[in-house]
Amino acid sequence: MPSAPSPRVERRFYALGLRLLAIFCLASMGALIKLASARGVHLVEIMFFRQLLAVPVVLLWVLLGPGILSLKTRRLPRHITRTIFGMIGMTFNFGAVVLLPLAEATTLQFTVPIFATILSVLILKEVAGIHRWGAVILGFIGVLIVVQPGHGHFPLYAGLVGLMAAFMVAVISIQLRELGKTETAPTTVFWFSLLSVPVFGTAYLFFAQAHDTASWALLAGIGTVGGLGQMALTAALRWAPVSVVVPMDYSSLIWATLYGYVLFSVLPGTSTWLGAPLIIASGLYIVWREHRLSRQNTATITAAAD
Protein backbone atom coordinates (compact mmCIF):
# COMPACT_ATOMS: atom_id res chain seq x y z
CA MET A 1 0.00 0.00 0.00
CA PRO A 2 1.27 3.52 -0.77
CA SER A 3 2.29 5.42 2.30
CA ALA A 4 0.13 8.32 3.40
CA PRO A 5 1.50 11.78 2.66
CA SER A 6 3.37 13.26 5.56
CA PRO A 7 1.57 16.09 7.33
CA ARG A 8 2.65 19.58 6.46
CA VAL A 9 5.19 20.89 8.93
CA GLU A 10 4.24 24.13 10.67
CA ARG A 11 6.68 26.64 12.17
CA ARG A 12 4.31 29.17 13.61
CA PHE A 13 6.77 31.47 15.38
CA TYR A 14 8.91 31.56 12.25
CA ALA A 15 5.83 32.38 10.17
CA LEU A 16 4.82 35.14 12.56
CA GLY A 17 8.32 36.61 12.32
CA LEU A 18 8.16 36.55 8.52
CA ARG A 19 4.76 38.21 8.53
CA LEU A 20 5.93 40.95 10.90
CA LEU A 21 8.98 41.50 8.69
CA ALA A 22 6.72 41.69 5.63
CA ILE A 23 4.46 44.26 7.27
CA PHE A 24 7.46 46.35 8.30
CA CYS A 25 8.82 46.26 4.73
CA LEU A 26 5.47 47.18 3.17
CA ALA A 27 4.89 49.97 5.69
CA SER A 28 8.39 51.25 4.92
CA MET A 29 7.57 51.09 1.21
CA GLY A 30 4.49 53.24 1.86
CA ALA A 31 6.61 55.85 3.62
CA LEU A 32 9.12 55.82 0.74
CA ILE A 33 6.27 56.24 -1.77
CA LYS A 34 4.97 59.27 0.10
CA LEU A 35 8.47 60.77 0.30
CA ALA A 36 9.06 60.19 -3.42
CA SER A 37 5.72 61.76 -4.30
CA ALA A 38 6.56 64.79 -2.15
CA ARG A 39 9.73 65.19 -4.23
CA GLY A 40 7.71 65.32 -7.45
CA VAL A 41 8.04 61.70 -8.60
CA HIS A 42 4.92 60.74 -10.55
CA LEU A 43 2.77 57.81 -9.43
CA VAL A 44 3.40 56.01 -12.75
CA GLU A 45 7.16 56.26 -12.22
CA ILE A 46 6.79 54.84 -8.72
CA MET A 47 4.72 51.86 -9.92
CA PHE A 48 7.09 51.11 -12.81
CA PHE A 49 10.21 50.97 -10.65
CA ARG A 50 8.35 49.07 -7.93
CA GLN A 51 7.67 46.25 -10.39
CA LEU A 52 10.88 46.48 -12.40
CA LEU A 53 13.16 46.19 -9.39
CA ALA A 54 11.01 43.46 -7.85
CA VAL A 55 11.70 41.09 -10.78
CA PRO A 56 15.37 40.32 -9.85
CA VAL A 57 14.36 39.98 -6.19
CA VAL A 58 11.69 37.43 -7.09
CA LEU A 59 14.05 35.62 -9.48
CA LEU A 60 16.63 35.29 -6.71
CA TRP A 61 13.91 33.90 -4.46
CA VAL A 62 13.00 31.32 -7.09
CA LEU A 63 16.61 30.33 -7.83
CA LEU A 64 17.35 29.81 -4.14
CA GLY A 65 14.11 27.89 -3.66
CA PRO A 66 12.10 25.77 -6.07
CA GLY A 67 14.25 26.52 -9.14
CA ILE A 68 13.62 28.24 -12.46
CA LEU A 69 11.58 25.34 -13.87
CA SER A 70 8.92 26.03 -11.23
CA LEU A 71 7.95 29.15 -13.16
CA LYS A 72 6.44 27.13 -16.01
CA THR A 73 2.70 27.56 -16.18
CA ARG A 74 -0.23 26.32 -18.23
CA ARG A 75 -2.49 29.07 -16.93
CA LEU A 76 -1.02 32.15 -18.57
CA PRO A 77 -4.47 33.66 -19.35
CA ARG A 78 -5.31 33.49 -15.63
CA HIS A 79 -2.02 35.18 -14.78
CA ILE A 80 -2.80 37.92 -17.30
CA THR A 81 -6.20 38.51 -15.68
CA ARG A 82 -4.60 38.57 -12.25
CA THR A 83 -2.01 41.06 -13.52
CA ILE A 84 -4.69 43.41 -14.89
CA PHE A 85 -6.52 43.45 -11.57
CA GLY A 86 -3.22 43.67 -9.71
CA MET A 87 -2.16 46.78 -11.63
CA ILE A 88 -5.52 48.43 -10.99
CA GLY A 89 -5.24 47.55 -7.31
CA MET A 90 -1.67 48.88 -7.13
CA THR A 91 -2.79 52.18 -8.69
CA PHE A 92 -5.45 52.65 -6.02
CA ASN A 93 -3.19 51.38 -3.24
CA PHE A 94 -0.28 53.67 -4.06
CA GLY A 95 -2.71 56.49 -4.82
CA ALA A 96 -4.20 56.16 -1.34
CA VAL A 97 -0.72 56.43 0.20
CA VAL A 98 -0.07 59.61 -1.79
CA LEU A 99 -3.46 61.22 -1.06
CA LEU A 100 -4.01 60.21 2.56
CA PRO A 101 -1.98 60.42 5.77
CA LEU A 102 -0.16 57.12 6.24
CA ALA A 103 -2.19 56.03 9.28
CA GLU A 104 -5.52 56.68 7.53
CA ALA A 105 -4.43 54.91 4.34
CA THR A 106 -3.37 51.94 6.46
CA THR A 107 -6.58 51.91 8.49
CA LEU A 108 -8.74 51.77 5.36
CA GLN A 109 -6.67 48.80 4.17
CA PHE A 110 -7.97 46.91 7.20
CA THR A 111 -11.37 46.71 5.47
CA VAL A 112 -10.04 43.95 3.17
CA PRO A 113 -11.62 41.10 5.25
CA ILE A 114 -14.94 42.97 5.13
CA PHE A 115 -14.92 43.20 1.34
CA ALA A 116 -13.57 39.64 1.07
CA THR A 117 -16.57 38.37 3.06
CA ILE A 118 -19.02 40.20 0.79
CA LEU A 119 -17.29 39.00 -2.38
CA SER A 120 -17.04 35.40 -1.17
CA VAL A 121 -20.82 35.40 -0.78
CA LEU A 122 -21.50 37.08 -4.13
CA ILE A 123 -18.85 35.31 -6.24
CA LEU A 124 -17.93 32.07 -4.48
CA LYS A 125 -21.49 31.51 -3.20
CA GLU A 126 -20.17 30.91 0.30
CA VAL A 127 -22.59 31.16 3.22
CA ALA A 128 -22.03 33.93 5.76
CA GLY A 129 -24.04 33.78 8.96
CA ILE A 130 -25.30 36.51 11.23
CA HIS A 131 -21.97 36.67 13.10
CA ARG A 132 -19.90 37.58 10.05
CA TRP A 133 -22.54 39.96 8.70
CA GLY A 134 -22.55 41.65 12.11
CA ALA A 135 -18.77 42.03 11.85
CA VAL A 136 -19.17 43.54 8.37
CA ILE A 137 -21.66 46.11 9.67
CA LEU A 138 -19.36 46.95 12.61
CA GLY A 139 -16.47 47.44 10.20
CA PHE A 140 -18.42 49.81 7.99
CA ILE A 141 -19.46 51.84 11.04
CA GLY A 142 -15.74 52.18 11.75
CA VAL A 143 -15.16 53.31 8.15
CA LEU A 144 -17.84 56.00 8.47
CA ILE A 145 -16.21 57.26 11.66
CA VAL A 146 -12.77 57.44 10.00
CA VAL A 147 -13.89 58.96 6.69
CA GLN A 148 -16.67 61.21 8.07
CA PRO A 149 -18.29 61.97 4.69
CA GLY A 150 -18.48 65.72 4.28
CA HIS A 151 -16.77 66.49 7.59
CA GLY A 152 -13.51 64.53 7.57
CA HIS A 153 -9.99 65.90 7.94
CA PHE A 154 -9.13 64.69 4.43
CA PRO A 155 -11.06 64.89 1.11
CA LEU A 156 -13.83 62.37 0.59
CA TYR A 157 -12.39 61.28 -2.77
CA ALA A 158 -9.13 60.35 -1.04
CA GLY A 159 -11.05 58.11 1.37
CA LEU A 160 -12.89 56.51 -1.56
CA VAL A 161 -9.53 55.79 -3.22
CA GLY A 162 -8.40 54.07 -0.01
CA LEU A 163 -11.57 51.98 0.16
CA MET A 164 -11.26 51.08 -3.53
CA ALA A 165 -7.69 49.91 -2.85
CA ALA A 166 -8.97 47.57 -0.13
CA PHE A 167 -11.79 46.35 -2.38
CA MET A 168 -9.30 45.49 -5.14
CA VAL A 169 -7.09 43.61 -2.66
CA ALA A 170 -10.16 41.56 -1.70
CA VAL A 171 -10.90 40.83 -5.37
CA ILE A 172 -7.30 39.80 -5.96
CA SER A 173 -7.33 37.56 -2.88
CA ILE A 174 -10.18 35.57 -4.44
CA GLN A 175 -8.23 35.30 -7.70
CA LEU A 176 -5.15 34.12 -5.80
CA ARG A 177 -7.23 31.56 -3.95
CA GLU A 178 -8.30 30.10 -7.28
CA LEU A 179 -4.81 30.33 -8.82
CA GLY A 180 -3.30 28.73 -5.75
CA LYS A 181 -5.04 25.46 -6.53
CA THR A 182 -2.46 24.79 -9.25
CA GLU A 183 0.22 27.50 -9.01
CA THR A 184 2.91 28.01 -6.37
CA ALA A 185 3.34 31.39 -4.71
CA PRO A 186 6.70 32.14 -6.45
CA THR A 187 5.13 31.39 -9.84
CA THR A 188 2.22 33.75 -9.22
CA VAL A 189 4.42 36.56 -7.89
CA PHE A 190 6.89 36.17 -10.77
CA TRP A 191 4.30 36.34 -13.54
CA PHE A 192 2.58 39.34 -11.98
CA SER A 193 5.87 41.20 -11.77
CA LEU A 194 7.01 40.20 -15.26
CA LEU A 195 3.71 40.89 -17.05
CA SER A 196 3.14 44.26 -15.41
CA VAL A 197 6.57 45.71 -16.26
CA PRO A 198 5.89 46.25 -20.01
CA VAL A 199 2.54 47.91 -19.26
CA PHE A 200 3.93 50.24 -16.61
CA GLY A 201 7.04 50.72 -18.78
CA THR A 202 4.92 51.97 -21.69
CA ALA A 203 3.11 54.41 -19.40
CA TYR A 204 6.46 55.44 -17.91
CA LEU A 205 7.60 56.75 -21.30
CA PHE A 206 4.95 59.49 -21.02
CA PHE A 207 5.74 60.45 -17.42
CA ALA A 208 9.51 59.96 -17.13
CA GLN A 209 11.34 62.88 -15.55
CA ALA A 210 14.85 63.78 -14.49
CA HIS A 211 15.39 63.34 -10.76
CA ASP A 212 18.07 64.06 -8.23
CA THR A 213 20.06 61.31 -6.52
CA ALA A 214 17.81 61.22 -3.47
CA SER A 215 14.70 60.62 -5.60
CA TRP A 216 16.39 57.79 -7.50
CA ALA A 217 17.44 56.27 -4.19
CA LEU A 218 13.82 56.41 -3.00
CA LEU A 219 12.66 54.63 -6.18
CA ALA A 220 15.32 51.96 -5.71
CA GLY A 221 14.23 51.52 -2.11
CA ILE A 222 10.57 51.20 -3.09
CA GLY A 223 11.30 48.37 -5.53
CA THR A 224 13.71 46.51 -3.28
CA VAL A 225 11.82 46.82 -0.01
CA GLY A 226 8.52 46.12 -1.77
CA GLY A 227 9.92 42.96 -3.35
CA LEU A 228 11.32 41.73 -0.05
CA GLY A 229 8.01 42.45 1.67
CA GLN A 230 6.07 40.55 -0.96
CA MET A 231 8.35 37.54 -0.59
CA ALA A 232 8.10 37.52 3.20
CA LEU A 233 4.34 38.00 3.03
CA THR A 234 3.95 34.95 0.80
CA ALA A 235 6.57 32.82 2.57
CA ALA A 236 4.80 33.24 5.92
CA LEU A 237 1.84 31.28 4.56
CA ARG A 238 4.11 28.31 3.88
CA TRP A 239 4.73 27.79 7.57
CA ALA A 240 1.39 28.64 9.23
CA PRO A 241 -2.30 29.01 8.36
CA VAL A 242 -3.73 32.34 7.19
CA SER A 243 -5.72 32.73 10.40
CA VAL A 244 -2.50 32.60 12.44
CA VAL A 245 -0.44 35.15 10.51
CA VAL A 246 -3.06 37.67 9.31
CA PRO A 247 -3.52 39.33 12.74
CA MET A 248 0.11 40.46 12.46
CA ASP A 249 -0.99 42.73 9.58
CA TYR A 250 -2.50 45.17 12.07
CA SER A 251 1.00 46.02 13.30
CA SER A 252 1.25 48.14 10.15
CA LEU A 253 -0.76 50.85 11.92
CA ILE A 254 2.08 51.21 14.45
CA TRP A 255 4.64 51.71 11.69
CA ALA A 256 2.36 54.02 9.70
CA THR A 257 1.75 56.20 12.77
CA LEU A 258 5.47 56.28 13.57
CA TYR A 259 6.51 57.12 10.00
CA GLY A 260 3.75 59.71 9.71
CA TYR A 261 4.94 61.51 12.84
CA VAL A 262 8.71 61.25 12.29
CA LEU A 263 8.78 61.99 8.54
CA PHE A 264 5.72 64.19 8.03
CA SER A 265 4.86 65.51 11.52
CA VAL A 266 1.35 64.08 11.18
CA LEU A 267 -0.54 62.05 13.77
CA PRO A 268 -3.84 60.22 13.19
CA GLY A 269 -6.93 62.33 13.76
CA THR A 270 -9.41 61.67 16.57
CA SER A 271 -11.83 60.00 14.15
CA THR A 272 -9.14 57.51 13.15
CA TRP A 273 -8.41 56.60 16.78
CA LEU A 274 -12.15 56.01 17.27
CA GLY A 275 -12.88 54.17 14.02
CA ALA A 276 -9.74 52.06 13.65
CA PRO A 277 -10.49 49.77 16.65
CA LEU A 278 -13.92 48.97 15.18
CA ILE A 279 -12.43 48.12 11.78
CA ILE A 280 -9.65 46.03 13.35
CA ALA A 281 -12.11 44.20 15.62
CA SER A 282 -14.31 43.47 12.60
CA GLY A 283 -11.40 42.07 10.58
CA LEU A 284 -10.05 39.97 13.43
CA TYR A 285 -13.47 38.49 14.13
CA ILE A 286 -14.00 37.59 10.48
CA VAL A 287 -10.59 35.87 10.35
CA TRP A 288 -11.27 34.01 13.61
CA ARG A 289 -14.74 32.98 12.46
CA GLU A 290 -13.45 31.62 9.13
CA HIS A 291 -10.71 29.71 10.97
CA ARG A 292 -13.25 28.17 13.35
CA LEU A 293 -15.62 27.18 10.53
CA SER A 294 -12.72 25.70 8.57
CA ARG A 295 -11.76 23.51 11.54
CA GLN A 296 -15.37 22.41 11.99
CA ASN A 297 -15.65 21.48 8.30
CA THR A 298 -12.38 19.54 8.46
CA ALA A 299 -13.57 17.65 11.53
CA THR A 300 -16.89 16.83 9.81
CA ILE A 301 -15.16 15.53 6.67
CA THR A 302 -12.75 13.45 8.77
CA ALA A 303 -15.60 11.95 10.78
CA ALA A 304 -17.50 11.11 7.59
CA ALA A 305 -14.42 9.44 6.13
CA ASP A 306 -14.02 7.31 9.25
Name the band, by pLDDT with cuts 50, 70 and 90, for residue 183: confident
Is 94 a residue whose pLDDT tops 90?
Answer: yes
Question: What does the pLDDT look like over 111-162, one tens digit per residue?
Answer: 888 888 888 777 767 777 787 788 888 888 888 888 877 666 778 888 899 9
d(CA 54, CA 219): 11
Name the band, by pLDDT with cuts 50, 70 and 90, for residue 175: confident
Question: What does the pLDDT look like over 200-241, one tens digit per residue?
Answer: 999 999 999 999 999 999 999 999 898 888 878 777 767 776
**Mean pLDDT across 61-79:** 84
Is 3 a residue whose pLDDT tops 60?
Answer: no
